[in-house]
Amino acid sequence: MHMNDMVVISTDDHICEPPNLFDNQLSGDLLATAPKLRTDPRGKNYWEYQGRLKASVGLNAVVGRPFEEYGMEPTSLDQLREGCYDVHARIDDMDVNGIAASMCFGNSIAFDGRTFHEAPDKALALRHMQAYNDWHYEEWCMAYPGRFIPLGVLPTWDPGATVAEIHRLARKGFRVVMMNENPTAQGLPSIHNDYWDPVYQAIAETDMTIALHIGSGNPAPHASLETPIEAWIATMPLSVAQGVADWLQLDELHRYPDLRIIVAEGSIGWVPYLMERADFSNWRHRAWTKSRFNGLKPSELMRRHFCHCFLWDPYGLKNLDAVGLDNVTYEVDYPHSDALWPDAAEMLWHQVKDLPEDVIDRITHGNAIRWLRHDALFAHNRREDMTVGACHARARAKGVDTAPKASGGAVPLTEDRPVTSGDVMQMFSEHAERRAREAAL
């Protein structure tokens, strides 16, 4: 196999929601009360919904910027590549990156639909969330059938409405729904509470996959305000281990042996140790902890129920047998700061080129198709048209520009010293104070 022969699916990317998101889905009062993209006096965009404001954060959409301009300041759409919010430009950026298909989480709605969860009027939030799901499927995913994996948002503040939405999404064509890895962060009962019983049942009945995204419930903590920010960035993937360990104890893994959970943006290098540690802990402590693994090892449950996504993890790939050959998928994380664009195919090939061809096929696209039930890729597109080489050829024919573009974005620090967590927090604080002053005027 050569690099250009690979078919690559990215199981974690993001959408910077466009200002016309609801225009074709709603009308009248529902459209008037839907989330709105606003512009502040400094020209920066923010979303407003039911009295709450959410800025566009720089590191969520820096793809295509020079590295020196990475930062976490509020941004505006004109500072972003069009592929961040325009589906046609996104396909071009996928092609130039050698990506056949992509699963896209939100940005302004958060990785778990938090924007709707925090809204005071939940009846209105439910209708707007459904409109978001309809837009995501009809105007984003179906604009290029098979090139995107539909990913639904759920109104988990109401189990009955959640069950109804799961079945509605299944009828529509969704096979994946996102959840918060730790719902207590949303003020909801823990995943072990009976509150969730009808939700798990509906997910099992509809053969849905649960997608958990890093940072939604168990964020990586900042060690101190004086700690260089790279320490926080380096430990972000490891924070997902806490959530996975929690879900690994879920009774429903035994009740529903086909339940599937994909963990986005957590990488894979830590997975073998967690499995080893969970097995040891269960052997050493189960006599008093009364954990219920029903004769199975935690590591066996991990392989049966969990899929893990990696972006750059040569160490994890060296231990692929321990992680599970069928439990790994690839991700780009476009347009976030870790995103390997426009050279994801080259960077991926560098990591996998020495693996057997059948293993390369599994981790580049086969596992994603199976875990996410995405048969639509080849149902709507010929395999030979979805290879890295074919995608690159289309991008070259269109002349997609990949040169870094300066955006004029602010950076947290101009002094010659490491940027700290405190610098970044100060940037957010100053922005929040400025927004509050502007809102009062």
Cα–Cα distance for residue pair 52/65, rounded to 1 Å: 29
* Inter-axis angle of helices 271-289 and 298-305, nearest 10: 130
pTM, to two decimals: 0.95
CATH number of the domain that 346 lies in?
3.20.20.140
The residue behind tokens 């998101």 is 21
Phi (first) and psi of residue 271, to 5 degrees: -65, -45
Residue 14, strand partner residues? 105
Virtual CA dihedral for 351, 355, 358, 359, nearest 10 degrees?
-60
| Residues near 377 by beta carbon (within 8 Å), at least 6 away in sequence | 9, 100, 101, 146, 147, 365, 369, 386
At residue 66, the pLDDT reads 86
Between CA 163 and CA 170 the distance in angstroms is 11
Number of domains in the chain: 1
Q: Of 23, 171, 11, 179, which Cα lies nearest the Cα of 104?
A: 11
**Structural domain for 390, as ranges:** 3-440
Predicted local confidence at residue 426, as pLDDT:
80
Q: Measured between alpha carbons, how far is 389 from 398 in angstroms, rounded to an integer? A: 14
Q: What is the pLDDT of residue 334?
A: 97
What is the pLDDT at residue 412?
A: 63
**Which pair of structure tokens corresponds to residue 28?**
């009248």
pLDDT in tens, the chain (441 residues): 999 999 999 999 999 999 999 999 999 999 999 999 998 888 888 899 999 988 776 667 889 888 887 876 657 888 889 999 999 999 999 999 999 999 999 988 888 889 999 999 999 999 999 999 999 999 999 999 999 999 999 999 999 999 999 999 999 999 999 999 999 999 999 999 999 999 999 999 999 999 999 988 888 889 999 999 999 999 988 899 999 999 999 999 999 999 999 999 999 999 999 999 999 999 999 999 999 998 999 999 999 999 999 999 999 999 999 999 999 999 999 999 899 999 999 999 999 999 999 999 999 999 999 999 999 999 999 999 999 999 999 999 999 999 988 776 666 667 889 989 888 888 766 665 555 555 555
DSSP secondary structure letters along 357-409? HHHHHIIIIIHHHHHHT-THHHHHS-GGGSSHHHHHHHHHHHT---S------
pLDDT, residue 7, reads 98
- Which of 341, 441, 356 lies closest to 391, judged by CA? 341
Cα–Cα distances (Å) from 389 to 6, 99, 123, 156, 363, in that order, read: 8, 10, 48, 42, 18
What are 98's two structure tokens?
Answer: 């050698």
36-39 sheet: strands from edge to edge: 36-39, 45-49, 52-55
Which residue shows structure tokens 């709507």? 380
Q: How many CB atoms lie within 10 A of CB 138?
A: 15
What pLDDT is attached to residue 55?
Answer: 77
Question: Cα(409)–Cα(101) distance, rounded to whole angstroms?
Answer: 30
